Structure 1
């Protein structure tokens, strides 16, 4: 307190008990700006650690509002459009014969559009069913092959298939052993057959005429 003579303001420690440090002179022997910076530093260190720096703000985008029920359009199938049109015709007094009210006309056009799209939808459904059947058949065939492979002793067959031996260069194949016949069993019958074939071949080809 005070303008020129700085003193500590009088304050109480307890009720009706004045602090002994009251009314003491304050000598300022430091620059006011340095003093303010030192006060800020002391206040900052006296704060809890969580309050020393500002919390980082995360802004989440607002979710897109849902469309009102009146604007939600469900998938219009042939049966749903037909039922909607017949229900409206049954309860509307202005839809008589070929005449329609505003809502009746909209329902009629939806029904006609569904009728036009029905062949394409039927073709897509049939194609999807055929694809599902083929997938089921492939899975069944794979399961049958797996069962057969396990039944026939798959480990032994696989071991035999993977057992490979290097062939010696210049050696004959194991399928051409000495037990195979290298000549005709009946040489006389073989010679007669060759002679007959030669005579037939000679009759078919005429002799060349002399020039």
Structure 2
């Protein structure tokens, strides 16, 4: 799968070339109808690009051509810290219940993990092929974790990275591992709760703020 930025650049170049060819071939002498059409063409193209980024790429048939998994939504997560993690004596050794909210368009992705003790926000995220597989990909994201103040004495803010296996174009479960700069590591399992992103976390489980959307 080609990087999204490569697709954007290629599309922009192609559209620009076509538009220039139309202007050149017409000799810049247009009838009233053609002038109106050309005036609206850039706007229509922009609307088309925005619609594709937000919705069209997930449509049946289109998603197969786009080749980008749709993982946006709210996920129930369970974190399993490894026994070798450098966890303070009074720290949480798991399993830890959390909520993961993934906001995704074709070209962008933002990930939030909320537990009863802290919140993690992604600083970068990408989906790439897993080796030569046609159906399996890897979601990699780096994040910044900010514990609640009450937990700061035993859990300091830190940076981390997670790798999750993504199988299929509309998976309902994700699994993988994580590691952090405070020398902790472990496994992470996600189960899809909703395709909506209007959920917030309670102490141990997600609660819905508005209607669920699948």
TM range (shorter): under 0.3
The structure that has the greater radius of gyration is 1
Give me the TM-score of the superposition, normalised by structure 1: 0.19
TM-score by length of 2: 0.19
Q: Which has the higher helix share?
A: 1
Q: Work out which structure has the larger RCO, using CA pairs closer than 8 Å and 6 or more positions apart in sequence.
A: 2
